[in-house]
Structure 1
Amino acid sequence: MATEYPQKIWHNGKIKPWAEATVHVMAHALHYGSSVFEGIRCYQTASGPAIFRLTDHNKRLFTSAKIHEIDMPFDLDAINAACREVITANGNSTDYLRPVAFRGLGGFGLSAATPTDVAVATWKMGKYLGEGVLENGIDACVSSWQRFAPNTIPAGAKAGGNYLSGTLIAREARRLGFGEGIALASTGLLSEGAGENLFLVIDGALHTTPVSAALLNGITRHSLMTLAREAGLTVVERDMPREYLYLADEIFMCGTAAEITPIRSVDARQVGSGKAGPVTRRMQELFFGLFDGSTPDQHGWLEPV
């Protein structure tokens, strides 16, 4: 089945037809991975479509650009406005936003001066890891590929080149018949999933790996930590060895695309009861409750289109 692309995209300051948003084959980002981007969800709420933590996501876009010295030709307000504009231009029928800034056509060397192109795309994503996974969970494996070591590639930037690592992890997992892969850091300790942060439930407390474990400090991760603490749950950021995956009572992955996906087994070892446990279900209720109104939006995370 052919992919159904949306009709409109925002590209360098203008809404234009999707097919007209083109890039030269010699663009710097295509050859060297010099791009930064965000993934943002738009949810239907009782008050209309709302973008989840739009400003926080786009602030991270700018910090990622700062780390990689990518000059941004638009300011934060302009990118936020572009996200709203492209959702509206496509009839509020999409649920995922992708702002991206990248070095375009210029010189041909690693440090060549190049202009920065910026685009905001939107499309209908649905459930990233497949229909039914939020309810039924997935089977995961520990990847043979490790995350990059400290002071090599900055994991704190959401940069295009970083996702070559996640691609290797995800493709290996699918090839072996698993729903997703889990990576170890260069230390041999747990890092995160191919494109998701990781939570383990141990004795009723939420344990998650620290940002020093070569992971992206996810906005969904931060949201869940905040909601959990407000609900009276204990949240611990800590280094964890691989075997904790086999000993945890519950495990779930989280991210903008994956939302909150339970893990029912790791390396063919059943996790807990083999299905989403009570803490995972509680976190799903708190998170998705933001969009149906059962969880108060105390932090102004829902930004209307």
Structure 2
Amino acid sequence: MSDNETYDVCLVGGGSGGKGAAVSAARDGAKTLLIEAPLSLGGTSTWAGVNNYEPAAGATGLPQELYERLAEHPYAESIQRRTASYHPDRPWGIYDRSDHTDYRLTLNRRCGTALTFEPKTTSDAMIDSVKEAGVELRPSTRFTQVQTSGKRVQSIDIQGNDFEGRIQAGVFIDSTADIYLARAAGRESAIGVESRNAYDEPLAPEQPESVLNNASLCYRIAPLPPEESLQIDPPPDGIDLDELRPVTSIRTYANWDRNMNPLHLMTGQEAFELGYRAYEESEKRIKAHWRLLQTRYGFERWKMTWVSPMLGIR
């Protein structure tokens, strides 16, 4: 199908921010379109393995609505408490399942609680929320061209499995991870830290810096069944285990699997410079990282079951 369509609001990018903005716009009566390149929703918060709320980051409103949807499904979410902090003899921090089931505990930093949730169930819950709000959702869809007038985006050309055409909207919202729409429209953008006088921020450096937060390729591990023998793959070529740091942020799924986030294996700057090759290089490093934990740090009765299909940029 090829056609032109008009909306009040069009959002490009279906991560947590795009999903929330789309639902809010539709509930306020706007004719709303949400397009997302993958088939699912959630972005970094689901398919990059960064599928948790940090301590005290729980909130009322849309986040609580999402939690309540997840709570209807067995093993979809887990309220957690930190049980191990980073230490030279145990270089990882662990959040384990908590006996508490009160979502309000995640609002209090003193409680040290967090939430971890299943990626697919979370994506499905987001899709249900979007559709119930009246948002038109087009997954597996990308924009290919941008038409502007002055500083405003007037329309975009999109292409998906069942639609190819032009979208006009009163408001376009760029909710992509890397401001793809704004950059395609020719808007000024920057990578890194702005200078102090750019936005009158007294704590910013005097000169702009290209420092970026780390890029994480998360993976999932599960206990090895008693009848299953341990298999340890050799480390990838070119990586010396003695030079790796085992530092890991570990979250516990509701079914007691572990989400492993080795924060230090790639800097954001390196990921930016590597481009599409960053994922391949990160995958090689996490395989070496996992072998290090298996052979030297007490994870010999665990196995890797999943690697996130996208990098998580912190």
Q: What's the TM-score, normalizing by structure 2?
A: 0.26
Q: What's the TM-score, normalizing by structure 1?
A: 0.27
Task: Report which structure shows greater RCO (CA 8 Å, sep ≥6).
Answer: 2
Instruction: Point out the structure with max Rg over C-alpha.
Output: 2
